[in-house]
Amino acid sequence: MESIDVYRGAVPGRFGGNSLGGVVHVRTRPPGGDPQVRLRSQAGAFGTRQLSASVAGRRHDWDGLVVVDYSRSDNDFRFLDDNGTEYNTGDDEWAKRRNSDFGAVRLLLRSARHLGASRLQLSHTQDISHRGLPGIGNYQSLQTRLDTRRGISEANLFGPLSQGRAGYRLKLFRSAERVEYKDLLGEVGIGTQHDRNTTTVIGSRLEGNALVGPLLATAFGGARHERFSPEDLLGPLAAPASSRRIGLTAGGEAEITGLAGRLVANAGLQVERLNDDVVDAEDTKPTASHLTRTVWSSRLGLSIDLGGGWTGQAHAGRYGRPPGFFELFGDRGAVMGNADLVKETGRNLDGGVVYHGVPAPSGVQLAEVVFYDNEVDDLIRFIQNSQRVSRPHNIGRARLRGIETRARGVIGRHLHLEGSYAVQSAENRSPFSFEHGNDLPGAPRRQLRGRVGVDAGHAALHYEMSHESRHFLDRANLQPVPARTVHTLGARLPVNDTVTVAAEIRNLTDNQVADLWGYPLPGRAAFLAIDLDLSLSGN
């Protein structure tokens, strides 16, 4: 991973999607450069093992990168089982998590080369995982399994036009995911199940931009075809009823600079035409329906250099998002789809200031304060019912307001500090009395994270703390997940230029905590890792 860019508010059109909270753009390490070979081995509590290897370099005119990751764990940690009686502590007992093991392999292939003034980039990611599903609530399954295979391929061709005053980017992509859910004893889902669901997406996107004075104009268009094919492996041998979605997208963005480059304003508009042929195979008699809809999205943004390293930013936008096939038809036992979902729509508003410090051995490197205020109609949210099964539902109206802060700095070269704090009000504004004014499911009001690191050159120590306040799993706010605080302590010791040893203790105080879905997380756990950097640039 090279960097992570966070775009709050309305999603820029070049990312090809719409969402409530923005987008996180993960930039992976580019292929090529000096030859490098890196190995990492990690072992720790609950039978956890991880091995990763990466090779990067250049051969002839091609840059290349290969990454292989393997991980497995028994994941059989102890947790406090209330035996289904939340308010009776007399029958609470310590139990070991069963059927919670997993194994996973990831392969990443990337290559690139120049074609004249243009550049061609090819990539493929393959994921294979095999895991147990430990059950619902206090009932633990013994044999329920979930297997996933996912492949994502992408080709990008981009380059300059008109002596660098214009440019283009062409992208072709394909993804395929096969999920097999096997519950032959009816331990998790409704009755015995052995299902295989396959989702494939294929598409293209063309983008062009041109610089005209202070104005950068961008136009883009794209098409994609999605298919969802469910199979009941315990049912009659009939052709599976598939659902499909054909989407056509077009849009444009304009960015203009002023005040000698200190002011940047941008605006974007996107329209997406969707044609859905949907088959609800969960009915006793599968039913087919056709739906055509148009989804509009727009955004306005402003950024101004305030001087002294400070920048002011503000965004406003409207968006629409139809439910995905997993939200409509997915079935993983404890998580099921809902074929009655409709698209969510909303408006985004956010603004704040950010400070970027100059590189220095001591001082503040980053400081940011941002507020947001979003209103959503028919918000799609996963909600857990009384049987501990989570299904997505449309929440008629919701308003999410909050403030996010973060900072990072160095004191005296060796002491590194960073932290973030977020407070939000995620309010359900549906007209129904039992939920109006309640917190939205899965929305903690406060989140706090901090990290302190001491780097002495020959060794490094770090301490991390994360805290999330209580939140709820249901609309009526009757199923709470208690607040959680997790402490982590770690150390890193470079043995030489090639070998580095690292150790970490997670959940240092052995708190019994749960994740956002209410499922128990491990207590105290220790891990040891060895990194080898076999760079060949010096040879």
The pLDDT value given to residue 406: 96
Handedness of CA 517, 522, 524, 527 (dihedral sign): negative
Q: Name the 3-class secondary structure at 13.
A: helix
pLDDT of amino acid 355: 97
pLDDT along the chain (539 residues), means of 10: 60 59 65 83 94 92 94 90 75 86 96 95 97 81 93 97 93 96 86 91 97 93 95 75 92 92 93 89 66 90 94 92 87 82 91 93 94 93 78 92 96 94 95 89 94 92 96 88 93 92 94 75 92 68
pLDDT of 178: 96
**End-to-end alpha-carbon separation of the chain, Å?**
25
Distance, CA of 412 to chain centre = 35
- The span from the CA of 324 to the CA of 228, in Å, is 10
**Which pLDDT score is estimated for 45?**
93
pLDDT of residue 25: 63
pLDDT value for 190: 72
CB atoms within 10 A of CB 108: 18
The pTM for the full model equals: 0.85
Amino acid at position 202, single letter: I
Model pLDDT, residue 537? 46
Which CATH architecture is the domain 3-535 placed in? Beta Barrel (2.40)
User: pLDDT value at position 539?
Assistant: 39
Q: Would you say 224 and 202 are in contact if contact means Cβ atoms under 8 Å apart?
A: yes
β-strand partners of 148: 129, 179
The reported pLDDT for the residue numbered 90 is 81
pLDDT number for residue 511 = 86
Nearest Cα to Cα of residue 334 among 103, 140, 128: 140
Helical spans, DSSP H, in 286-383? 325-329
